[in-house]
Structure 1
Amino acid sequence: MKKILSIIVGAGAIAAICGILFIHNEITDRINPLVPRQDLYVQINRDGQHLKPGGTEYTLDGYNQSGEKSDVTFLASGDLRKNAYLKIYTKGKYVETWEEVQYKDLPKDVQSTLKQ
């Protein structure tokens, strides 16, 4: 009986570890040590979606240091200023935080992609 229970617990632990390593979403990316941190840059060029309990969710095109595009979704406590530039600190799909930056502070490859 103990042997069977040990096998079941071991298989469950292996399944949980595999799930963390191979399934990518906000929760697993947050705790997965293999997912690298990355800064993305966005321009607020469309309206966000207002959420019922409060806040605004934005899904925008983000660009990394070398100008490669990826979608990013993040929350703000309210509407953000139109055409503002943000630096978003991410770890996979998980957004740690964001801050507004000036156009001159964007990497050159990102400046060529985003309009001023």
Structure 2
Amino acid sequence: MKKFLIAIASLFLIGVIGIVVLMKVDFNRMNADNYYVHITEDGVKEVGKGSDGKVYETYHYNLESVNAKGETKTVEFTASKNLRKDAYLMLYVKEDKGVSSYDEVQLSDIPKEAQAKLK
């Protein structure tokens, strides 16, 4: 009976740890390359309708990005809102999916080689 209780407690603990990991880890950012962009214009607005009838807006961007080594790449991504002009973004780019996530960053947080090409 004691072994059974230990086994149940162990499975419960593994389950709790698994749930915490799933809540804290952003899998869209794992194994992704970082590229940087400067938002200089509004995105192209697209209005759609969900299956529940709710209307939503999506903004499409097609921009030249640069990585920490100074290498450039054209990327396409969408946002659920029109991004602020003059904002700098760090994009998480995966080979098979393209841009999977992004964060707004300060110019001073961008590597020097990328800063030179974004100005």
What is residue 25 of structure 2 aligned with on the other side? Answer: none
Gaps of 5+ in 1: 1-35
Task: Provide the secondary structure at the position in 2 that maps to 1:98.
Answer: strand
What is residue 106 of structure 1 aligned with on the other side? Answer: 110
Aligned residues: 80
Which aligned segments of 4 or more residues in structure 1 are displaced greater than 3 angstroms? Answer: none
CA distance in 1, matches of 2:63, 2:34: 14
Alignment counterpart, residue 86 of structure 1, candidates 85, 89, 99: 89
Gaps of 5+ in 2: 1-30, 49-56
CA distance in 1, matches of 2:105, 2:85: 13
The question of 1:42 aligning with 2:33 is answered no
CA deviations 1:47-70 (Å, max 9, x no partner) are 211012111011111101111111
CA distance in 2, matches of 1:96, 1:79: 17
Counterpart of 2:106, as a letter, is Q
Q: Report sequence identity in percent.
A: 41
Normalised by the length of structure 1, the TM-score is 0.65
Q: Pick the structure with more strand per residue.
A: 2
Alignment of 1:1-116 (within 5 A): 37-53=32-48, 54-92=57-95, 93-115=97-119
C-alpha root-mean-square deviation of aligned residues, in Å? Answer: 1.3
Instruction: Using the TM superposition, give the Cα deviation of residue 37 of structure 1 relative to its aligned residue in structure 2, in angstroms.
Output: 2.7
The higher radius of gyration belongs to 2
